[in-house]
Amino acid sequence: MTAVFSEKEKKEAFAEKKKLLTLWFVLLGIYLIAIAVMVTINCVLIYTQRSRAVYIPFTVTSILLSCVFWSGTVFFFSIKYKLTSRYCRMLTGMKEGLKDRGFGTMVEIDPTVTEKDGVFFYSLVLDCPPMKRGDITVRKILVERTHSLPDFKPGDKIKFITHANILMAYELDMDEVFDSLNSAESKAAQINKVTTGVLADDAAEDAKKDGE
């Protein structure tokens, strides 16, 4: 089967998450050092020289720096890091969680983007055999939106592996393809046989008329 998520891609995703978190800790360290330096200088000047010359500039700078850093932190963790973290969580779930194997007939690809647990998907619509009487046979399997699928055609038989209805691997059912080709060849052979028989009968009939 063809895996949707390669091992290289998985490693890159977890490396990206680690890099983002490391970057934030580095910026946090710089921010704390800057605040500590300003506070220290201000206290030293006050207690040694009785001077408050830098008090107001350092206070304003500290407030502005704090606003910028913590606003950026909220933006960072609510968007960029969140998306990367949820993506990695999905990959971890695929590795450790339950997997579902099945097969179905290709109906269409639904390009409508949907969100599940912070990850965005489009849908592969398949007509699958029901597990029990009365089950809905049409199933929408989620495909991560940055991944493309082969040019499947409606009617193709597809085997798949999913986790939480998210496509992990797929395969075109070649047995069905060969059966279809053999069926088509068989029908063509039958048609040729019938056509040949008709032409032979016509030729015999013409020969009989010529003999008369």
Concatenated DSSP letters for 137-148?
-EEEEEEETT--
Question: Which amino acid, 77?
Answer: F
What is the percent of the chain where pLDDT is above 90? 51
Q: Is residue 66 part of a domain?
A: yes
Q: Is residue 73 part of a domain?
A: yes
Alpha carbon distance 71, 179 (integer Å): 61
Q: Is 164 left (phi over 0), alpha (psi -120 to 50) or beta?
A: left
If one counts the domains in the chain, the total is 2
Q: Write down the pTM of the prediction.
A: 0.72
Does 126 have pLDDT greater than 90?
yes
Q: Is residue 189 part of a domain?
A: no
Kindly state the greatest CA–CA separation across the chain: 139
pLDDT at 42: 81
Coil, helix or strand for 113?
Answer: strand
For residue 126, give its domain range: 100-174
pLDDT at 178: 43
pLDDT one-digit tens code per residue, 60-103 = 988 999 999 999 999 999 988 999 999 999 999 998 889 999 88
pLDDT at 205: 61
In this structure, are 87 and 111 located in the same domain? no
105 bridge partner residues: 127, 157
Tokens of 93: 């779930």
In this structure, are 89 and 139 located in the same domain? no
Write the CATH number for 166: 2.40.50
In this structure, are 55 and 140 located in the same domain? no
Alpha carbon distance 125, 137 (integer Å): 10
